[in-house]
Amino acid sequence: MAECTTRKNHMSAEEILRTEIIVNQALIDILIAKHVITEEELVNSIQNIKLDQEKLLNASNKIVSLKR
């Protein structure tokens, strides 16, 4: 019986992602409204994070040959 679950106990990946988007947008709206961060700072930060992630991804895709 303990293994029996209902739909209410599980969220799909889409539902989780949608919830994360809503929460992030709400936090961003609050930070901007309270003048903690400007939209320009936010955009710049997002661009920097994207560049960092691309660098990490590119570095992880490199094939390293081991010459013995």
Task: Identify the three-state secondary structure at position 59.
Answer: helix
Q: What is the pTM of this model?
A: 0.63
* 26-49 confidence digits (pLDDT tens): 999 999 999 999 999 999 999 999
Task: Identify the three-state secondary structure at position 34.
Answer: coil
* 5-31 confidence digits (pLDDT tens): 555 678 899 999 999 999 999 999 999
Task: Identify the three-state secondary structure at position 20.
Answer: helix
| Residue 28 identity | I
